[in-house]
Amino acid sequence: MLISHATPLYRHLRGEDQELQENKVANLRLAVARLDGIVLYPGETFSYWRLIGKPTRRKGYRDGMVLFLGRIGSDVGGGLCQLSNLIFWMTLHTPLTVVERYRHSHDVFPDTNRTQPFGSGATCAYPHRDLMIRNDTEQPFQLCVQVGKQVLKESGGPRHLRSAAMRS
């Protein structure tokens, strides 16, 4: 069984700085480089922040859009929730166990080319809001993530997490 999913990198937002979206894409490229290809073996737990580490300017992360208490702002590493959202969504289509996940409290993209239902995302904020997934199966899963020109995508199946998706 093959599973794949993609989310748009750029959205038409009212009043939001386009530079924050460009920076988000740059941040996603850095995080994807840390996660693409990792294998989650039986009994292991995937931690989003343990693998990515703290997003800092020194590592090349830029100011991107963040949500805090229902307000839109910017901070270093902003936009990385798009990747945790995608990984969480794909995990829901596998036998893997989500052991830690936080949902967004505010819908910043109502009806703007929505690809997933609201409430199905996984917000992240270093180091306190992590996405953690445990492999309770007998099979390894590989995470494969790709930042394209227009979309963040993953594809895969129930045996492996592949390209921010699951692939067997």
- In this prediction, residue 145 has a pLDDT band, given cuts at 50, 70 and 90, of confident
Q: What is the pLDDT of residues 85-130, one digit of tens each?
A: 889 988 988 899 999 987 766 555 555 555 555 556 778 889 889 9
User: Whole-prediction pTM value?
Assistant: 0.80
Nearby residues of 24 by Cβ (< 8 Å), 6 or more positions away: 9, 64, 65, 78, 79, 80, 82
- In this prediction, residue 156 has a pLDDT band, given cuts at 50, 70 and 90, of low
pLDDT higher than threshold 60 for residue 67:
yes
Q: Which SS3 state, helix, strand or coil, does residue 85 take?
A: helix
Q: Which token pair is 163? A: 């390209």
